[in-house]
Amino acid sequence: MDEARTIRIWMLSLVPRGRYGRWVSGALILLTGFLFFAVALYLRVRHLEGGSWYFGAWSVAAFFVCSVAYIVPVFHYITDRTQQTLDSLRGFAGGSAPSLEVDVRRRSVGWTIRTLSVGVGLWLVQSWFLAGGLNGMLYELTANPIRFSLAVGPLPVWVTMCVAMSALFRNAVLFRSVSRELDIRILEPDSYMPVGTMAVTSTLVVLGALGLLSIMWLGGPVNWWTTLPALAFFSPLVIFLLLVPVLPVHRQLKQQRAQAVADAQEALRQAQQGSVEARAAALSFRREVSRLPTWPFDVPAITRFISYAIIVPLTWTGAALIEILVNAVVS
């Protein structure tokens, strides 16, 4: 990628520099988002002519705000970790490895425009289905401040998610290329384990965002078109982000272990005519070789992925239990 034709990914600029920059960014986004909806509610109530009005969509608004406040700092974290991983793998590059020289924090202007357009387009499609057509969309945008805020609320969610997922998608493809350029040595985990760790970390954006969908259900039943597009669009990407970068590594590790097992078996065969100590050493060598990994995942990485994966069912179950509890109290 030509550095002269690229710019810094704009979402990364939303996080200030410093040790607590991500926390500050998330807090500021939360504050800004809630102020936006609070002002919309104030304007609606102020101009309400008679009757009562109930802000039943508070949970939907909370989801919009929390999602953006989550995606931006987590994407910043993953991008930093990705760059650090590329830097750490340079010592294991076999010959020329141009993929390791890529700056994942920068993208082309065309990529920026395309990702923004896709995010806006997905928001329009979702709004179309939720409103039942163009006339309904126009009504939602012009009826009153609350309807307008709830109609516009998904836009920053779609935009930030599309930018993050597009960048992570390209990073996964990049790591697939990197994996083919590495001098992978099965006895040296540092030559391949960072690829698996990075793949697991990349799923954090999607799994966390899907888990946040349960916030919408806390305010009562919601239209399935509020959640189905996100589930259908982003769920398969978890598998993609997890497997695409590591499959080339898996194939190499599998071949190397098969060769190591064959060598160990031959060594054991030759040791049969030797001393007891030689046979014991050959048996121990074969046993240890057979335990060598064929996937670039260590125990902490697997534990981390399982923790990420259970976020979604646990948050959805928690939302359902809270809804049942609230209904029991108020009924």
Residue 9: per-residue pLDDT: 93
Residue 80: per-residue pLDDT: 93
| Closest-CA residue to 171 (of 297, 250, 84) | 84
Residue 73: per-residue pLDDT: 94
* 273 HSE (CA, 13 A, CB side): 4
Residue 96: per-residue pLDDT: 55
What number of other Cβ atoms are within 10 A of residue 201's Cβ?
21
Q: Is the dihedral of CA 128, 134, 136, 137 positive or negative?
A: positive
> Is 217 within 8 Å of 59 (Cβ atoms)?
yes
Residue 8: per-residue pLDDT: 92
The whole model's pTM is what?
Answer: 0.80
Ranges of residues in the chain with a pLDDT under 70 are 1-4, 44-56, 94-99, 219-231, 233, 299-331
CA–centroid distance for 168 within its chain: 7
Residue 2: per-residue pLDDT: 47
